[in-house]
Structure 1
Amino acid sequence: MNPTWLDFLAIPLGRLLKFIYDFLHGAHIPGSYGIAIILLTLIVRGLLLPLYIKQIQSTSKMAEVAPRLQEIQQKYKNDQKKMQEEMLKLYQETGYNPAGGCWPLLIQIPILFSLYYVFQNPLVYVLGKSHQYVKDLITGATGYNITQRIVDEAQKLGLDMHFFGINLAQKELIVLPILSAAFSFLSILYSMNSQKKFNPQYSSSQSNVMAESMNRSLMIFSPLMSYFIALQVPSGLVLYWTVTNLFTILQQFIANEVVYKKLKHKKEEEEKKKQLEKQALKMQEIESEREKIDEQDESKKTKTRTENSQDDDQERLRKKELERLKQQISGQHRTSKKKKK
């Protein structure tokens, strides 16, 4: 076998597996190789857990943004420039990054493929043999016989690959294939139910309806593929896949209890905050309306007082005018009497 571009990851992972195996085997623990595979899988998946949580957060945010995104696409379907501007504005407003959910997945892929190479070729990645050594060993072999020669040679070199009655260097046709298929099914089912429970928008948007339809198809085909592939590869690989699916269920449980509930609580708090802001705004409007009414009442009172004051002034002027006229008439009357005398 030739070196792969993933050797920079596969070699240290294989050395870590060998370190765990040597420790367990030195302690005379039965099934050391199988337990080492389980522990290595858990270590790697544990290190990838923060990326998984980030992916879950991005998926949840996507489900939240999707309805508004569809509204924009529908509203500006004839104006691509305006659509892009509004979508960018929405992303900035909500803090959603469309590529945010892709990067964690892309980072995981080379690590997972590297583990596949480790379990497929323990001579190179676990025992430290050269690729030329393996290439000479498998000369003339084809198909599954290539892998079988590799794992058989690894056992001859002292790597005990027995795991509680199962030889992880050989095919196993009953227990591990069934477990692999079962945990694959449970993983997809649990993930779907979690999405429905913690993302109310998940079933409403068209994209998520399509995703759910694909997941339903995966619920059928993925376990079947896991089972039939498990019948064709060494049991060490099947054990790795089984533990990976089991850990995926555990990851989803952690996401439900920590990430989704936290996001749900945060969303409820935001909704409460919005309700309080609406109530405060409504109270401001009512208060403003009340102040306007009070101002109008005060204005009416002021106007009434002004009108009354003006009436009083006019009344006083009339009285003065009448008094002046009386005095003038009285004066004229006295003058008339004097003239008669």
Structure 2
Amino acid sequence: MDTIASLFSFITTPVSWIIVQFHKLYGAIFGPDTGWAWGLSIVSLVVLIRICLIPLFVKQIKSTRNMQALQPKMKAIQERYKSDKQRQSEEMMKLYKETGTNPLSSCLPILAQSPFFFALYHVLSKIASGEKIGVLNQSLVDSAREAHIFGAPIAAKFMDSPEKVEALNASLTDVRIVTAVMIVLMSASQFFTQRQLMMKNVDLSVKTPYMQQQKMLMYIFPVIFAVMGINFPVGVLVYWLTTNVWTMGQQMYVINQNPTPGSKAQAHYLDRLLKSVTSHSEVRGRRRRNVVQAIVAKGSDRNDNERRFIAGLAKAGFAAQANGTVEKSTDATAEAEAAGGARRQQPKRQTKAQRQSAAAQQGAAKGDEASSEEPKTSLEKDAPQDAKPKPAGKSPSGAARQAKSGQRKGQQRSKHQSSKK
């Protein structure tokens, strides 16, 4: 880890300078040697970095959605050119170029944070050994070594030896309890963030291998953080726990305000939007108007959530316009009522016993019709044309039975006559 941290030593001076500036602010409030002053300095460093990374986070969200939408096409390309890897790569790059998708965009926030993360690790390691680094002079290093967060020095680790912890004026039990709690919170926040993304902000109508990979990462990432966390100083754990909580809150905001089309989050968002429109008779806010405008522009390509939203507007007597606004429409109300009436006129669902009884009745009726349409017998063909018609009161089934009995009697008389001859 020291080798990796040394690779990012070029940024240790800016990181140490930022920490010192925040330490001056919090030191004037809580005292320069307190854990609150140094701990809040690290938290403020995280907040500053994440604010600067908001554009990359937005790019990550867009890239993730584009990758989800492209999964069926990517799978088709892999199946089509599975024997030609070069052509497969070319078609993949062509697809990325046509859709403006960059597969690496989803990793940009993590890649951008990594230099600050390892620089902070390098700074805390030097503080633990009592060495100057960046703009941290010896007095600031000694002050940071004396700072404790809930009894654990900010430079102590879970795997440190008792002698090293005692040199930092702390007990090994306090250090391990504090670091264990932070590791659990760090892993839990990572798991909840990934689960929130998978359960609420994924288009459930698209089943792709990408979703299975995301589910695996949901369980793998927390385990990785837990294993790595035992080798992180308390200050680094504070940094990583803060950035996980920030990511969780930032993602929750994005899911609520700009959900993925076809996801559960979009269904909840459109329900809230429909209630707002029906209560205020207008679409409030430019962002909401942009959402309605995009739904109207889709036309027949709308998903189930968007179709329900348009139907709900029509039922309330509103019609969505191309500019994202809504207008009162009597035609929309009439169409919604007609659609509702058509749904109410549908027959009720029958039980299994009712379906079997109806099928038996239909089978009996078909059997009676088939019996009445049987071909006439030889005696019926030879019967005189002026024979008396049968009474209308008799049922077709009775006529069929008489025809069958006549046929049997005719055959017996023919045999009797031949024997006389």
Q: TM-score normalised by the shorter chain: which range applies?
A: 0.5 to 0.7
Aligned to 2:347: none
Cα offset, 1:161, TM superposition: 1.4
Q: Confirm whether residue 125 of structure 1 aligns to residue 134 of structure 2.
A: yes
2:107 and 2:244 map into 1 onto residues whose CA distance is 20
Q: Confirm whether residue 175 of structure 1 aligns to residue 182 of structure 2.
A: no
SS in structure 2 opposite 1:124? coil
Aligned to 1:27: 29
SS in structure 1 opposite 2:104? coil
Among 253, 273, 280, the residue aligned to 2:297: 273
Q: Confirm whether residue 45 of structure 1 aligns to residue 69 of structure 2.
A: no
Cα distance change, pair 128–48 in 1 and its aligned pair in 2 (3 A): farther
Question: Paired residues, what number?
Answer: 251
Aligned to 1:247: 246
Cα distance change, pair 77–271 in 1 and its aligned pair in 2 (3 A): farther
Q: Which amino acid aligns with 2:195?
A: M
Cα distance change, pair 75–38 in 1 and its aligned pair in 2 (3 A): same
Q: Once the two structures are aligned, what percentage of the paired residues are identical?
A: 25
Q: Once superposed, what is the RMSD of the aligned Cα atoms?
A: 3.6
1:100 and 1:247 map into 2 onto residues whose CA distance is 19
User: After superposition, what is the alpha-carbon deviation per residue over 1:141-196, rounded to whole angstroms, capped at 9, x for unaligned?
Assistant: xxxxxxxxxxxx86546765134544324451213421332232232232233133
Q: Which amino acid aligns with 1:111?
A: F
Aligned to 1:97: 102
Give the number of the structure whose alpha-carbon radius of gyration is greater: 1
Alignment of 1:158-169 (within 5 A): 160-163=146-149, 165-169=151-155
Do 2:193 and 2:248's aligned partners in 1 also have CA atoms closer than 8 Å?
yes
Aligned to 1:189: 192
1:81 and 1:127 map into 2 onto residues whose CA distance is 52
Q: Which amino acid aligns with 1:245?
A: N
Q: Confirm whether residue 113 of structure 1 aligns to residue 122 of structure 2.
A: no
User: After superposition, what is the alpha-carbon deviation per residue over 1:94-124, rounded to whole angstroms, capped at 9, x for unaligned?
Assistant: 2222333344443332222122212222431
1:190 and 1:80 map into 2 onto residues whose CA distance is 35
Cα offset, 1:270, TM superposition: 5.7
Indicate the structure whose relative CO is greater, using CA pairs within 8 Å and at least 6 residues apart.
1
Cα distance change, pair 269–169 in 1 and its aligned pair in 2 (3 A): same
Among 1, 9, 16, the residue aligned to 1:7: 9
Aligned to 1:216: 219
Cα distance change, pair 126–105 in 1 and its aligned pair in 2 (3 A): same
Do 1:180 and 1:241's aligned partners in 2 also have CA atoms closer than 8 Å?
no
Cα offset, 1:54, TM superposition: 1.4
User: TM-score with structure 1 length normalisation?
Assistant: 0.61
Do 2:18 and 2:45's aligned partners in 1 also have CA atoms closer than 8 Å?
yes
Cα offset, 1:61, TM superposition: 0.9
User: TM-score with structure 2 length normalisation?
Assistant: 0.50
1:92 and 1:234 map into 2 onto residues whose CA distance is 43
2:62 and 2:291 map into 1 onto residues whose CA distance is 13
1:64 and 1:267 map into 2 onto residues whose CA distance is 19
Alignment of 1:196-215 (within 5 A): 196-200=199-203, 204-215=207-218
SS in structure 1 opposite 2:79? helix
1:18 and 1:70 map into 2 onto residues whose CA distance is 51
1:80 and 1:235 map into 2 onto residues whose CA distance is 47
User: After superposition, what is the alpha-carbon deviation per residue over 1:212-253, rounded to whole angstroms, capped at 9, x for unaligned?
Assistant: 22332334x235325533xxx542233223222222322322
SS in structure 2 opposite 1:4? helix
2:77 and 2:144 map into 1 onto residues whose CA distance is 64
Do 1:14 and 1:118's aligned partners in 2 also have CA atoms closer than 8 Å?
yes
Unpaired segments of 5 or more residues in structure 2?
158-174, 267-289, 303-421
Q: Which amino acid aligns with 1:124?
A: I
Do 1:72 and 1:83's aligned partners in 2 also have CA atoms closer than 8 Å?
yes
Q: Which moved more, 1:265-274 or 1:194-203?
A: 265-274
Aligned to 1:289: none
Do 1:191 and 1:252's aligned partners in 2 also have CA atoms closer than 8 Å?
no
Do 1:180 and 1:226's aligned partners in 2 also have CA atoms closer than 8 Å?
no
Cα offset, 1:37, TM superposition: 1.4
1:91 and 1:237 map into 2 onto residues whose CA distance is 37
2:79 and 2:215 map into 1 onto residues whose CA distance is 22
Cα offset, 1:274, TM superposition: 4.0
Cα offset, 1:13, TM superposition: 0.8
SS in structure 1 opposite 2:230? helix
